[in-house]
Structure 1
């Protein structure tokens, strides 16, 4: 029996990637990060195809599936494989072609892939090789999902950039990206992270721009302010969208003229700093609502970085999980159930990487790393949402009733914490309110 890659209709090889437009590719998310070119027309594939890429998966049949690509549309067809082909968590019926959309998640055997219609080149120039962390060894993890951000950052490095705006949802990693921008544009210089919500409105100017002696009661010797203290470096303004409208003009002089006016002084002081701002809000919408100044927004025009949410880059989920494993120990693929990773990839994660870290912490209560099981992940997802059933087509629970593994996980945490709900919540990686809502909803289950 042939072990080579089976083909039908033609023997055409995949074309080299187009660096500008990108190339159709299947990004392997588990067990390892890599990318494979999509066959150009029609091809029957199986175990030998993966073996040629260094992936040994005994659950993949010798002739497992068929890919057909025509007119820019990719279709997949399971060829009666023993363990099946799953598309976005649903097992495909045999011998029925199904369209595969961009971002769709495929599972064949224990291998998980994400289809990308246009995979662009990586930071190393090779579109198929995974990227290193963005921002160095402690930066953002994104083997494939952060390429647009990395390319944009490379563009900013070639420009006389003074202001950078990072947009992204809560928990996506804006602070890590800000640090990566600083390291790229002002390496070895000072870095000052400032949370705009943590500064009282009455002290905004004094803390940022400084004050002269006697400027106000208690001013004492005066202060240069955070901006001047980091001359030559970077000031990171987190949660820019939360800055009150009446304080926004105070930033304009800094952003436009690179000057600060200390409180109590009539003489502006020139500064040389890189300003990075971050927001999880739609600043254009805030402008329409007259909550954010248009002139302030335009000071960042042309220097914006859009950080994708975790749900937009499922191909990075397992790599990120390895980086933030609650035990500080990477998961061993042989000890990880592919459906468990699939469940994580299918979950929307509104809290992004921060929420993923919480889910992994709860799952570790059931199956400590280096292992990861579907039961543990489903328990974690159920508890995190404080609902009765875990999301996804593979959840096994009765409406209105938590699964036994969820109950077991909560009971174990409460026992370990000697009934202390705050400590149990910390063990589970959830806030105390989430745990209390779960107990209130299911009082008999955790007695």
Structure 2
């Protein structure tokens, strides 16, 4: 079985190389936006003149003419620009397939990346901590070597974020995936306890680290608000806020990677709630005519859910389990938090607090999140779950409920 793996490293370009990287990012973003504008606003005129639809092939041919006319576009490697056109073509295919929204323009500060084909990129290790990546029209750029890069290189993506330049190597690895006959576990995602398991354990989410970075970011944002627009001081303050937010995102991503990898390594079947996080974190402000209620409380709940990264956890768990031969089972989230895992009675008042569940009927006393995880495990292992999975229409609806339908 062939699987794709990504390996991300911190780049250390020279000042001249950084200028070339910025030029590549800007030109590729421009090509993407020009191609989007052509498809969006001029497709009728193009079809009337040529009798054909605008496609990747037609736009790639026009790109060649554009490169011949402008030196600053020709200074950027052509394959990176072609990859931008391929991205747009794929975005339109996804839109017409009904699995994505209509393509939107790429923005500076948000879409600062470009991609190169694997055959154009070469890398080698210099010593224990450093490697060299040879990029077309840029040269040999040093990067921090933190782990080996197995498999065949398919492409490389260079990007910049508030923490600097990074390179991501996408490789194709040949692996033998055997069926994982490990035990089954239920997983409950929460706010107080980020992840609770049916065996009574909890994931050690770095909440204090995230809170500390958030506190620093808020303080830096207040400093930013007092800076004069256009000043160098404001530019520095803005970069500090972005860097702190990016650090928090990196801590969260690291936790989700480590915890989902552990689950995939130990368990053969993981049962998890089918949650649509985007809907759960929608704003409660409402409209001027119909204002929402409990707006501040809902905003705090949304912030807590996004701070932990429920959807990211689900994404990582999906592909890691598949690569390890495991199985991910999605169960209905209704009533899992207020159902007694011992006698099965559904009673809202049995959940005494965020952390305590006490059943008035059978006397069960347990952590509320652990009780919910056991309910999820029971729902994912009972025969009725297999009957639901066997129905294609229902299976699709559950995937869509979690935002993972293809």
Shorter chain as denominator, the TM-score bin is under 0.3
Higher helix share: 2
Q: Which has the higher contact order (CA 8 A, sep 6+)?
A: 2
TM-score by length of 2: 0.26
TM-score by length of 1: 0.24
